[in-house]
Structure 1
Amino acid sequence: MDTKAPPRIFSRQRRKAGYRRALVRQSQRDAARYVFDDMVEDVLDRLEFMRFEPAKVLVIGDWTGTLALSLRGRGSTVEEANVATIDEEVPLEGAPYDLIVSLASLDRVNDLPGALLHLRAALAEGGILIASIIGAGSLANLRRAMIAAEPDRPAPRMHPLVDNAAGSALMQRALFRRQVVDSRSLEVAFPSLDRLVSDLRDQGLTSSLSSAAPPLGKAALERARSTFLSTRNGNERVLENFEILTLTGWKD
Structure 2
Amino acid sequence: MTDGVDIFDRAAVRRYRDRAASTVQSVAPILEDAADRLLDRVSDTTRYFQAALDIGGRGVVAPRLREMGISTVAMDLSLPMAARSGAPYVVGDEETLPFGEGSFDLVVANLALHWVNDLPGALIQIRRAMKPDGLFLASLPLLGSLGDFRHALTEAEAELRGGASPRISPFPELRDLAGLLQRAGFASPVADQEEVSLLYGNPLTLLRDLQAAGERNAIRERSRAIPPRGLFPAALMRLPLDAEGRMKVTLRLGIMTGWSSGNTQAEV
TM-score by length of 1: 0.90
Match for 2:211 among 201, 211, 217?
A: 201
Q: Quote the residue 2:95 is aligned against.
A: 89
Aligned-partner Cα distance in 1 for 2:126–2:183: 13
Q: Quote the residue 2:6 is aligned against.
A: 8
Instruction: Kindly indicate whether residue 255 of structure 2 is the aligned counterpart of residue 246 of structure 1.
Output: yes
- The 1:223/1:200 distance shift into structure 2, 3 A limit, reads same
Alpha-carbon shift at residue 5 of structure 1 (Å): 6.3
Instruction: Kindly indicate whether residue 62 of structure 2 is the aligned counterpart of residue 68 of structure 1.
Output: yes
Identity of aligned residues (%): 26
Task: State the one-letter code of the partner of 2:58.
Answer: W
Alpha-carbon shift at residue 199 of structure 1 (Å): 0.7
For residues 191-247 of structure 1, the C-alpha deviation after alignment (integer angstroms, 9 at most, x for no partner) is 23321010111112222212332332124333212112xx10111101110011111
1:97-176 matches, within 5 Å, as 97-151=104-158, 152-176=162-186
Instruction: Kindly indicate whether residue 206 of structure 2 is the aligned counterpart of residue 186 of structure 1.
Output: no
- The 1:37/1:91 distance shift into structure 2, 3 A limit, reads closer
1:27-46 matches, within 5 Å, as 31-46=26-41
- The 1:70/1:222 distance shift into structure 2, 3 A limit, reads closer
- The 1:34/1:128 distance shift into structure 2, 3 A limit, reads same
Alpha-carbon shift at residue 91 of structure 1 (Å): 4.1
The answer to whether the 8 Å contact 1:92/1:118 transfers is no
Task: State the one-letter code of the partner of 1:111.
Answer: D
Task: State the one-letter code of the partner of 2:41.
Answer: R
Aligned-partner Cα distance in 2 for 1:52–1:36: 25
1:16-31 matches, within 5 Å, as 16-26=14-24, 31=26
| Greater mean deviation of Cα atoms: 143-152 or 179-188 | 143-152
- Gaps of at least 5 residues in structure 1 are none
Task: State the one-letter code of the partner of 1:46.
Answer: R
- The 1:32/1:75 distance shift into structure 2, 3 A limit, reads closer
The answer to whether the 8 Å contact 2:3/2:117 transfers is no
Aligned-partner Cα distance in 2 for 1:222–1:68: 37
Secondary structure of the corresponding residue to residue 117 of structure 1: helix
Aligned-partner Cα distance in 2 for 1:182–1:141: 22
Secondary structure of the corresponding residue to residue 216 of structure 2: coil
Secondary structure of the corresponding residue to residue 211 of structure 1: coil
For residues 46-103 of structure 1, the C-alpha deviation after alignment (integer angstroms, 9 at most, x for no partner) is 1111133210000011112x32222222221110101221111124415421001112
Aligned-partner Cα distance in 2 for 1:9–1:87: 16
Task: State the one-letter code of the partner of 2:46.
Answer: R
| Greater mean deviation of Cα atoms: 96-105 or 43-52 | 43-52
The answer to whether the 8 Å contact 2:61/2:110 transfers is no
- Gaps of at least 5 residues in structure 2 are 79-90, 262-268
Task: State the one-letter code of the partner of 2:15.
Answer: A
> How many residue pairs were aligned?
243
- The 1:249/1:39 distance shift into structure 2, 3 A limit, reads same
Secondary structure of the corresponding residue to residue 138 of structure 1: coil
Task: State the one-letter code of the partner of 2:95.
Answer: E
- The 1:220/1:114 distance shift into structure 2, 3 A limit, reads same
Secondary structure of the corresponding residue to residue 22 of structure 2: helix
Q: Quote the residue 2:81 is aligned against.
A: none
Secondary structure of the corresponding residue to residue 33 of structure 1: helix
